Amino acid sequence: MNWWLLSPEITLVAFAVIIIFLDLAIQRKGILAATSVIGLLVAMVFAVGLWDKTGVTALNGMLVIDRFSLFFQMFFPGVAALVVLGSTDYASRFSRFKGEYYALILLATTGMMFLASTGELISIYVSLELMSLSLYALTGFLRDPKSGEAGLKYLLLGAVASAVLLYGLALTFGITGTTHLAGIAAAVKGMGNAGENPALLMAIAFIIAGFGFKIASVPFQMWVPDVYEGAPTPITAFLSVASKAAGFAVLVRVFTVAFLSPGWLSQDWAMLFAVLSAVTMTLGNIVALMQTNIKRLLGYSSIAHAGYIMLGLAAIGSAGGGGLGQNGILFYLAAYGITNLGAFIAIIAVSHRLDSDLISDYAGMSQRSPLLAAALALGLISLTGLPVSAGFWAKIYIFNSAVQEGFLWLVVIALLNSVIAAYYYLRIVKAMYVEEPTSKESVASSTPVKVALVVCSIGVLYVGLLPGAVLRLIEAASILL
Amino acid sequence: MDYWAGYGSIALFLLVALIFGLITIILPKVLKLLGLVVRKPNAVKYTTYECGMETIGPSWVQFNFRYYIFALLFLVFDVLVVFLYPWAVSLRGGGWAAFTAMAVFIAVLLTGFLYAWKKGALEWR
């Protein structure tokens, strides 16, 4: 066993333990945020170092190191580092348990990294729980009634979802007799075209339901608005980007490795994802129109984006393999991740000063804080999918993958949805730039928050203007073992 | 089929468990019927517990929620012990790799214990 293959995850766990001990030993809590950022960056460096050692399995196939998993082992620590930077101001609200906050973020990230790089059902479940349990605790971290309600809701609904997922995994094991994805693929292929196996379809439906909860797909989206509103805002950002990306990573791996052939099977779930995608994006966008709270609005918008990303899953199933659909998902996750983080970090900075998440309080923000307003506007433009931003290429890429597979009707629905979405995103931009401010008091923010904002904004513009480098990275990353 | 053969030992285990249970229930009755044992009732024999305290008052009382911390800590070390036994048995074959793995595992668990201790979770306040 080559332990270097596990180095990114080992680093994060070690740093989580170090942070817990530091928290017990020292009084100056500022060091904790710095330590966790260093840990996350070290984990990223280890992942980059593994880039050439791909195509390896370890621990009896439990761990799969391919470019796909390494892409996510760079993605998740990057997202977590930005979230930590963005929460430095916000963390002053936590009277106690500051060390636990950072340690839990690191542990959740570890779970996500394992989730993207595991090729076996039981370890998928364990890594999912490592991620979820940390996130449940983080959601209720503010210890006020709203945050507590959000945490409890997330915990209870999440427990039901993971029970359903476990049932699906158990059925899959019962039908195929193995928990390894490659073994499942062989067993499912062996069924041939003898007709549809109802138990297998049921297992797949349960698995989609279980992961559908994580990615916030309709009809498993009802927890999103309440949890997003109640959770500490940095954790809302973390949930909407990293937890969703982890769900998509594991969905892509499970479905492209285990359930791709025979052909009728992948056609079946391709159509299922296509319908879910249409319903999800439509519901997310229409309900988002009526929101007055910006966190709830971005919650519904994140549901809509899950719908767009599912276009890629439909394309994968229809094509009978990774290819365009898979590249589209990875590119969309990267672009959406950096965009949404930018928007959320701006919101963190504003809501920390104003103690309000109402859209009406964003009126005239361009005069009160030009940097925050510009970063938030850029994020919203990119979420809309207008040119010169990362969201534009992401949408084009993933819509193209669906059109190539004959999902023209679905792409038409997606385009209509993008137009609806433009209304509520640009309404906030209008409020910030056109309307008169309610007060002249400027909205200041600390240096780490500014650094995180600038990193996100540069990322959005870089991907928007020069998408080539990221596209090449993603094409290299789409080789699954 | 090989796959189902794996369940044979479980079926056997179930069967033995069932027979064992039945025998322990039936044997005293049979012995009584045969007249091999005599019935000697007395007050102590009919108490709820032969050893242990009788409960005072209703048993449906609310427990202080502080107990859950002790329950959690107990669980942590219970799981540790469950893992230690098979590890100890196979240590000879596993060598230093197995030793290191368990050392890391115990170190991680001890972190949790030290954390709880330092945070005052073990004190009854």
- Cα distance from N-terminal residue to C-terminal residue, chain B: 60
Q: Which of A17, A24, A177 sits opposite B108 (nearest CB)?
A: A17
pLDDT (0 to 100) of residue A62? 86
> What pLDDT digit, counting tens, does each position of B4-41 carry?
777 888 899 999 999 999 999 999 889 988 888 877 88
In a domain, B25, yes or no: yes
Chain B residues lying within 8 Å of A17, measured CB to CB: 108, 111
Q: Where are the domains of chain A?
A: 260-481
Biggest alpha carbon distance in chain A?
72
Tokens at B35, concatenated: 């007249």
Residue found by looking up tokens 């928050």 in the block = A449
Structural domain tally of chain B?
1
> Which residues in chain B have their CB less than 8 angstroms from residue A177's CB?
3
Buried b (16+ CB within 10 A) or exposed e, A189-207: eebeeeeeeeebeebbbbb
Q: How far apart are CA A35 and CA A37, in angstroms?
A: 5
Which residues in chain A are closer than 8 Å to B108, comparing Cβ atoms? 13, 17
Residue A20, chain B, CB below 8 Å: the answer is yes
Question: Mean pLDDT across the stretch B62-86?
Answer: 85
Cβ contact B114–A24 (<8 Å):
yes
Mean pLDDT of B115-120: 85
With contact defined as beta carbons under 8 Å apart, do A300 and A417 qualify?
A: no
Rounded to whole angstroms, the Cα distance separating A305 from A216 reads 10
Q: Among all residues of chain A, which has the CA nearest to that of B109?
A: A17
Compute the distance between CA of residue A480 and CA of residue A257 in angstroms, rounded to an integer.
8
Is residue B113 situated within a structural domain? yes
Q: Which chain B positions have a beta carbon within 8 Å of A1's beta carbon?
A: 97
Give the closest-approach CA distance of A201 to chain B in angstroms.
21
Chain B residues with CB under 8 Å of A15 CB are none
- B3: which chain A residues are within 8 Å (Cβ-Cβ)? 177
Contact call for B115 and A24, based on CB within 8 A: yes
Contact B118 A24 (CB under 8 A): yes
A174 → chain B, closest CA residue: B3
Res B104 pLDDT > 60: yes
φ and ψ at residue A64, rounded to 5 degrees: -120, 115
Binary contact (B3, A177; C-beta < 8 A)? yes
Half-sphere exposure of B14 (CA within 13 A, CB side): 5
Contact A17 B3 (CB under 8 A): no
* DSSP characters over A440-457: -------HHHHHHHHHHH
Min Cα–Cα distance to chain A from B122, Å: 15
Distance from CA of B16 to the nearest CA of A (A): 25
A56 — phi, psi (to 5°)? -120, 140
Do A24 and B115 meet the contact criterion of CB atoms below 8 Å apart?
A: yes
More confident residue, B91 or A287: A287
Query: What pLDDT does residue B108 have?
Result: 87
- Quick check: is B124 in a domain? no
B21 lies in which domain range?
A: 2-118
Query: What chain A residue is nearest to B107 in terms of C-alpha separation?
Result: A17
ipTM of the complex as predicted = 0.72
- pLDDT at residue A314 in the model: 93
Q: How far is A98 from chain B (nearest CA, A)?
A: 13
The answer to whether residue A13 neighbours chain B at the CB level (below 8 Å) is yes
Measured between CB atoms, does A24 come within 8 Å of chain B? yes
Chain A neighbors of B97, CB-CB under 8 A:
1
DSSP result, A308-334: HHHHHHHHHHHHTSSHHHHHHHHHHHH
Minimal Cβ distance to A20: which of B3, B97, B111: B111
Distance from CA of B98 to the nearest CA of A (A): 12
Q: What pLDDT does residue A481 have? A: 62
Inter-chain CB proximity A13 and B114 less than 8 Å = no
pLDDT over 80 (residue B54): no
Nearest CA in chain B to A2: B97
Name the closest residue on chain A to residue B4, using Cα atoms: A177
Please check whether residue B20 lies inside any domain of the structure. yes
In a domain, B35, yes or no: yes
Count, residues in chain A: 481
Alpha helices in A97-197 (DSSP H): 98-116, 121-139, 145-176, 181-190
Query: Looking at the complex, does the CB of residue A26 fall below 8 Å from at least one CB of chain B?
Result: no
Q: Is residue B125 part of a domain?
A: no
Integer Cα distance of A265 and A196 in angstroms: 8
**Which pLDDT value is given to residue B1?**
53
Q: Residue B54: which CATH number? A: 1.20.58
**Ranges of chain A with pLDDT below 70:** 1, 192-196, 481
B118 vs A contacts (CB less than 8 Å): 24
Q: Look at residue A403 in the predicted model and tell me its pLDDT.
A: 92
* CB atoms B3 and A20 under 8 Å: no
Mean per-residue pLDDT for B107-113? 87
Measured in angstroms, the CA of B107 and the nearest CA of chain A are apart by 10
B108 min Cα distance to partner chain A (Å) = 8
Determine the pLDDT at residue A28.
80
Residue B2, pLDDT above cutoff 70: no
Give the whole-angstrom CA distance, residue A170 versus residue A97: 37
